[in-house]
Structure 1
């Protein structure tokens, strides 16, 4: 979601004003039509029981879940401009417009409520809902009249005796006051009983037109209730006795446009000129300072956050944390990039990236530029004695006297650029620079002696920070954290770590911020037994600043917001863009006088420490709908599903109003399985096996607050052929068949034997076919490995050549896979292509020869053999014999006739089986090889015990008895 802060958007609202407000502004979240709002003019805001926000605008209504604005529309409306809305006691949102259209939400869709009007030109004057009735007062008549309609049968209606302005429900009874007497008396009736429950005569009769459409009613927990009616604010006790009354006559000239209760203590009032907050306890009226002329309403949700609707400027969210921001748009900040912050006495000093130093006085709100330097960005501001402060910029050291703001400077030190400054209690000053850590000082009352200021370089590694803990000096460098012991520097961590910040906590913990490893907690209470731990759940591992905000809490600045880290180990939380932070990259943080200040690349952020809190909103998740899918269509979900409805799609509703995309959601299929994250509103569960399931979902926001677990139980039934009844039926049938066979066995013995032989032949055929099918993917797998090898070596030419030949082989395999037998001629063609591939693969490493006796060649087209019966043996020679031979490899394949059989001799001069066994476990490979094992098994099946077909493997040796290769003989 695109979200901007008031530091950018509020000035746009003020652009039309003749006077520019130069002061800090509240840190609001801002939502516009680019975020999904239907319109930039927003009217009413409601919140339902699940915590979703409902918004009515000039272009329809929408629901906000923290991430998306979901629009709801319906055909048949006279106008989409919807200024009025209400929530009934059952949590159903109702809406109506000036044209008299009434619509509501039912089963997550918008429904039009058609009601007969007294007159075609009638418009809605007042509306209330109390199931099963809806109450409407119609205008555009001589006297407004009220009707009661049955929600389920709108044509069933009752014209009430009076015209009412409906206030609300009191003790589950709808009450309203009489329009006819409103100028003289405030007469309130129980609507259904038509019973007068109170009558309060006005002290001063009303002569101007009172507010009607926006009258409000608020019920307190003690039974008292408040009303805003006829321009009066009144509080009554539970006995309907008036407790207090306030007339808003002093706003009559402003033309009051809208009034609503924010809560029991505050009332929002919008007029033609401005907007106000009326305090019910003190009866005080306070004008809203910011963009008040554009506000339509203020709504306080269940989490005490305030939603501000506006005309033409969208929707704002006030987190109600009293956070403020300072930018170049709303204050006198010279730049938005604030590189350093320091609170001294009652002032806050800000160092900027452009070398400017500004001072902010919280008591008066004054922000002023006090000095500018061309020596680079201001890196550190360190208070000194005699009401002075040391200011370090990139290329200089400056002493500023706080009383008169006079400054003396020393620049062009030959020590590199400055990074930070440490001032110790004994007056020593340590300067962290790009060339190391230097000891300097002390600063005299008269100023800085530039010639004598730098005394000694302590460490020569690039240093970014320094600290003193338990009397030891620590230096944080780009090469690690070092501690000075005597004249030596010891690497505390024992490794290279980019250290950015150090903070000493009570001489027991040294908080070490790093660039890349997050925050390291170094327990140095016993310097010789240092314990190191890492802070968890940080928003980033790049630490920019550290600050102690109270005795037990550390604020950690990162390049992705601020993390509040309790030292006692309790759960921490973050401050980020959704908390009003103007920019996610935090350059420095400072805590002073109960306020936390954060300098970012986009302005200054200030928040009371007491208002820093985690996002306590419990996320909401629910399974809105489930669809089941088979191969052809979708089906509605039920708790018992057929076996083939095992693809489920869950539609999940989620809500976390300020988490946005940082809401993390998880699901699991049963309580014993691991949680699986999901991001979208849909979860697809594919190929679920039969069984019982209890799918569970939950969400957790950015600060670790989780929702309740939502679950849905269902069962996927087993297939019918695995069911108990089918198996019982099957066993019964088998038993009956057995009896029949036994009964007829003697008479049909010989025929059965013949049938058995046919069956065995078919079985052997099927087994052989299965083994053949097993060979096809085996060969393709090995060929693809060869192509992958070429590509990994970036040998594109050979890869393309190999791929072309491999394509031809694949086509031959697919053609032959449909056949039980192929001709020997085609098999030889296939083997020639295969050997060409292997020759291309091994290049000049192996000499390959294939020869065919003329006698075989003459009848090769007539001889039928099983497909892919020879290639695995040849492949085995390459893979396990010749692969391990460096050069001079020879591979021979020869076809010849031996009697009525074809003999295929495959011979190689590889390393032999024994050597291959030593290299890669020949026997294990041989026995588990799919190609060899399948070939042997196929030959056995085809031979059918006649010993006419088979495979012999002979180990060859040389004159010295050493392995000299392998000869494989296939008899076909």
Structure 2
């Protein structure tokens, strides 16, 4: 033959025709081959299928239409444009007509006319006539029956893997087999049953099916030929089949699509990727189970050397002389296992599968190699398993060997525990040193902040009791004395003395905080003195929320006075009419809000007058208070906020006053009551 890739067989009255993939056609007669490979003879040298019609003409389906052998010789057969330019994948003579399967579906040639059927076929690869006169059509999307010029789709349960149909073999229209890349399926009435031929995918990739007789079904796979006992498919005992591979004399493991044929003389022909195979071997006893080899693990080696295991085991097994309770140090982790399966009938066909529990996730591929090596095994418990077979169906009982590889000392529990303990101790020491360092740093920072706060407290006291305020207060007292207003003079002098005393007392506070009651009394004394001094210039009001217990809330000393002083001097005094100053103290969530508001000239106007020297009073109290709040915020870790002062404006944008808000978070032990001021 001109090519070993055999794709199809058929015969006419003279002999056997063998079609190849790329090598043309060979005619086998009287033990000789005649080759037809000239380009002018063939539509395409890539041939997929063949069939003989009722007129003794031989049809060949190629990658570009039909080639035919008739009385005039071998030549392309032009039917129409649809067939001439399409790959023809199956041919079948049925009821005097030639059915042509191709990638676009199915066509029927009868007489001199061609009919292209539009039944819903897609890529027809399999055509098979049954004994009851029905044509089975296998496509990529279904199985169809053709009977009395009508196509009917075969409804099959659980048909998810049934398509595409590569090949069909049939007893009758209600019992047939389908082969495809997914496996072999037996279809009985409307039910498909998958039949597993072997352990790997190559065993179950079906290229062709051929029913030799009612007892024998042949399947061509990618792992050789399978001769299947048909009656065993209905028995509970399971599948009885024999796998023929190159070790049995076949030319190749891999077979081809459509490449099976039973001649009129009863000879079975198969096509492989390495030529044609004519089967004429003896039949095996289909009720006889194949011989199972006798299997043993013969030897274990360490680093490919014979090893004295005395110091690693507790004796040796009788019969095999393998070490018992083998326990190896971590560096002895390169092991080779030798095994042997003895079969008197098939000594060269013994195959093995191995697996190392603790290392392999599944059985290793079937091999005829009688040893396996494992390198760099990690510490742990292992069990080596091996089994043997002749046909890869019947396996011996597993032979096993268990052993242990001990971990290195740095992976042992005692070492890990010791290192962990030392590590935790080190971490604890570092943590304590760090905490002491942080504590010392915090103490130093707090000392610095407190020193700064004391300085700011002194500055605040100085700002509250500045020489101008004292001078003006004494002038006011002198004024009342000169007017012989003893009552007003005594009242002013009494209030002034109380204010001085409270200011001096607050400067002695250890944590720079005073009760809100004391702070409000001080503020009231200050405003009342200024109000007596400027009787017709402003009124004032201090409002306290009724749910605040001022005796349990502590606030910075003298922190409200600078903002009230600012409202008096820069807000209401420059006005032509009397002004109003209001101090509101309310509770929001878990904080106190202090609101100081006046209806004075506003910030913009005050700045203008200050530039023009109309206002000469200069107070640093608000700046000092802001600095005190910043230091307190760092010491107490409480988010004290000052918003303002900001200008209040009317709808025309004119200034109508000033407002400042101070938010002071409450301490955790602060309580509220119904007490009000």
Superposition TM-score, scaled by structure 2 size: 0.48
Higher share in strand: 1
More helix by share: 2
Tell me the TM-score normalised to structure 1 length.
0.35
